[in-house]
Amino acid sequence: MTQLWDFSGGIHPPEHKDVSTARPIRNAGVPDYLILPLQQHIGDPAEAIVEVGERVLKGQKIADVKTGMGVPVHAPTSGVIESIADYPVPHPSGMADRCITLKPDGEDQWCQRSPVKDYRALERDQVLQIIRDAGISGMGGAGFPTNIKLRPPRDRKVSTLILNGAECEPYITADDMTMREKADEVVAGLKIMAWILRPERCVIGIEDNKPEAIAALRKATEGTQTEIAVIPTKYPSGGEKQLIQILTGMEVPSGGIPADIGVMCQNIGTAVAVAQAVFEGTPLISRVVTITGEAVREPGNFEALIGTPIEHLLEQAGINQDTVSRLVLGGPMMGYTLTTEAVPVIKTTNCVIAATATELPAPPSEQPCIRCGQCAEACPMELLPQQLFWHAKATEFEKAEHLNLFDCIECGACSYVCPSSIPLVQYYRFAKGEIRAQQAEQLKADRARERFEARQARLEREQQEKELRRKERAKAAAEAAAKKQAEAEKAAAEGEAVDERAAKSALVEQALARKKAKAEASQPPAPSAQPTPSAPPAEQKPDIEALEKQLTQARSKLETMQGMLDDAKAQQADNVEKLERAVAKNHDRVQRAEEALSEAREKLAAGSTESQPTH
């Protein structure tokens, strides 16, 4: 006998389950078209890998998640891709999202499948990859990808594996009928998941209002160590955290996950999908959906292809359009009203209620809170619904979050018992949405700030590296300039002084000679009876060799200084201006030396002409 615990709060609404369990599961058939949303689970949306007009086979992958968390989407039957566009999808807001529309060709032709006879011969990662490639996600809750859920962190050993067959919400009987008719597949899928996780204990939890399912599973688990735990009927005992508390006595910590306490929950439909993926090679292309409510003549459960429009299922159940008041997707506690029958069945769709006006009447108008405290007594999470309501209504989201708003499972028990008809869950959903939006904006801002800071750090680092390289170049240029300067000074010390004195001496001698010649030319000749030829003044012969040597040295020094200037300009050194002045000075020296040599050569040539005899 399995020991059971209890959880706080909870309610007992009318069940209305017997309406849809009178008939076996029926095949819904193939509709005229299938609408396949690219996002049917938590995580990143899939991307279409087919083109419009392309023919696909049953079970063929038509969309996949290339990066991030997600699973692929498969063609539920063979046909032609008619469009890839936005269509209404199951969502409380009635939003539209990207969908692939498939036109069935009636042939129902399968693609190549790869069933596995003995999964124990494979590696665990290989089996997880089979589950992932089959597109399996949770089929009873938010739709978390099953392969990721079956791969908990290494530091979180799963000691208890729970299969959730409680199905506590009124009207819904999809899991009940699945356990009755597919008990062997349920247990087969449980065995595969247990082989992957290696838990110490496997438990199937079922409410005591499902005797047929209990009997079927007990028969299927004969000879195994799997426990069949029959729990009292109370809403929301099918909630993950509540079922864990009932079966183990442990509570999932606030903000934590079941793996934190060594427990994992899986859904009945998920177990069947895992078994079919491994043993048959069949991807998740159909599921059991409950169609019930007083507005349908033949309520029951249908094996429906993923992508089947809700209106097709309603037709199969005999919808009475004259009496239907509203359509609810999901149960009356946690479901939401559909705005159109055109939305398709997705992997998490479990029930559609076609209710009359008397069956699910419109809620009365909201009245002021009378502080009765019934909401707090009914809350299975032991929260403070009244305070959460006040903070949500006043948009004091930080205070609501401080009161563990995100621990709310949105079961609707508080709204159900509220005498003032306050839609408490809607307020909590609003607050959660706003907080998530603020967190997303904050995350976006933080990432932008991190990118900006990284860019600034990179620019500063590059600037520092650039400055270091500039200093190294300047140092190298200064060392080269100092070396050349030293060489130039050494060369100047050896020959420049002599050259300067020789040049000045030659210039002075030339100036004196010109002055003397001018003075003699201006003096009148002395009177004489007989003129006697006067001897020409003796002039010093200019040193042509010394002037040429001086010019050569000046040109050499000019070339040296010009080379130093060019190097300094190329390296952007600080002594460019000083070197430019030195080059200009050397240009003047070369020019003076050239003039002196030219004048000396002219004088020497003139002297040679005068000394020649006249005939």
**Residues 140/243, Cβ–Cβ less than 8 Å:** no
Say whether pLDDT at 528 is over 50.
Answer: no
The pLDDT confidence band at residue 1, using thresholds 50, 70 and 90, is: low
Bond prior to 145 in cis (omega within 30° of 0): no
Amino acid in the structure at residue 314? L
Quick one: which of 582, 586, 589, 581 has its CA closest to 504? 589
| pLDDT at residue 536, rounded to an integer | 47
Among 98-107, 255-264, 523-532, which is the least confidently predicted range?
523-532
- Hey, where are the domains in the chain? 26-355, 374-422, 432-505+543-605
Say whether pLDDT at 518 is over 80.
Answer: no
Q: When comparing pLDDT for 550 and 17, which is higher?
A: 17
Region 10-21: what's the mean pLDDT? 95
Question: How high does pLDDT run on average in the chain?
Answer: 89
pLDDT tens digits, one per residue of 62-101: 999 988 889 999 999 999 999 999 999 998 888 999 999 9
Residues forming a β-bridge with 163 = 204, 266
CA–CA separation, 57 vs 149, rounded Å? Answer: 29
Tokens coding 345: 């069945």
CA–CA separation, 477 vs 441, rounded Å? Answer: 53
**Residues 281/342, Cβ–Cβ less than 8 Å:** no
Long-range contacts, stretch 186-189, CB < 8 angstroms, 24+ apart: 186/217, 186/220, 186/268, 186/271, 186/272, 186/275, 187/217, 187/220, 187/221, 187/224, 187/226, 187/271, 188/271, 188/275, 188/279, 189/270, 189/271, 189/272, 189/273, 189/274, 189/275
User: How many CB atoms neighbour CB 138 within 10 A?
Assistant: 23
Region 100-104: what's the mean pLDDT? 97
**Residues 62/75, Cβ–Cβ less than 8 Å:** yes
Say whether pLDDT at 391 is over 70.
Answer: yes
Quick one: which of 190, 199, 126 has its CA closest to 157? 199
| pLDDT at residue 10, rounded to an integer | 96
The pLDDT confidence band at residue 495, using thresholds 50, 70 and 90, is: low
| pLDDT at residue 494, rounded to an integer | 62
Say whether pLDDT at 459 is over 90.
Answer: yes
| pLDDT at residue 511, rounded to an integer | 73
The pLDDT confidence band at residue 613, using thresholds 50, 70 and 90, is: low
The pLDDT confidence band at residue 522, using thresholds 50, 70 and 90, is: low
Helix, strand or coil, per DSSP, at residue 242 = helix
pLDDT tens digits, one per residue of 316-333: 999 999 999 999 999 999
CA–CA separation, 294 vs 361, rounded Å? Answer: 12
CA–CA separation, 534 vs 495, rounded Å? Answer: 42
CA–CA separation, 82 vs 102, rounded Å? Answer: 6
CA–CA separation, 275 vs 189, rounded Å? Answer: 4
CA–CA separation, 525 vs 532, rounded Å? Answer: 11
Cα separations (Å) of 586 from 282, 486, 556, 589?
94, 17, 10, 5
Quick one: which of 461, 504, 481, 491 has its CA closest to 552? 491
pLDDT tens digits, one per residue of 210-228: 999 999 999 999 999 999 9
Cα separations (Å) of 262 from 125, 142, 161, 251, 417?
20, 21, 9, 11, 34
| pLDDT at residue 485, rounded to an integer | 80
Q: Containing H/E element for 408?
A: none
All residues at 6 or more sequence positions from 413 whose CB lies less than 8 Å from its CB, including other chains: 9, 10, 11, 235, 236, 333, 375, 378, 379, 380
The pLDDT confidence band at residue 589, using thresholds 50, 70 and 90, is: confident
Look at domain 26-355 and name its CATH class: alpha beta
The pLDDT confidence band at residue 17, using thresholds 50, 70 and 90, is: very high
Sign of CA dihedral 601, 605, 610, 613: positive
pLDDT tens digits, one per residue of 503-517: 666 667 777 777 777
pLDDT tens digits, one per residue of 108-122: 999 999 999 999 999
Q: Containing H/E element for 56?
A: strand 55-56
| pLDDT at residue 184, rounded to an integer | 97
Amino acid in the structure at residue 119? Y
By the 10 Å C-beta count (0-12 exposed, 13-18 middle, 19+ buried), 478 is classed as: middle
**Residues 80/102, Cβ–Cβ less than 8 Å:** yes
CA–CA separation, 531 vs 535, rounded Å? Answer: 12
Say whether pLDDT at 610 is over 90.
Answer: no
Sign of CA dihedral 140, 142, 148, 150: negative
DSSP 258-323: GGGGTEEEEEHHHHHHHHHHHHT---S-EEEEEEESTTBSS-EEEEEETT-BHHHHHHHTTB-TTT
Tokens coding 216: 């079927």
pLDDT tens digits, one per residue of 426-447: 999 999 999 999 999 999 999 9
CA–CA separation, 84 vs 465, rounded Å? Answer: 52
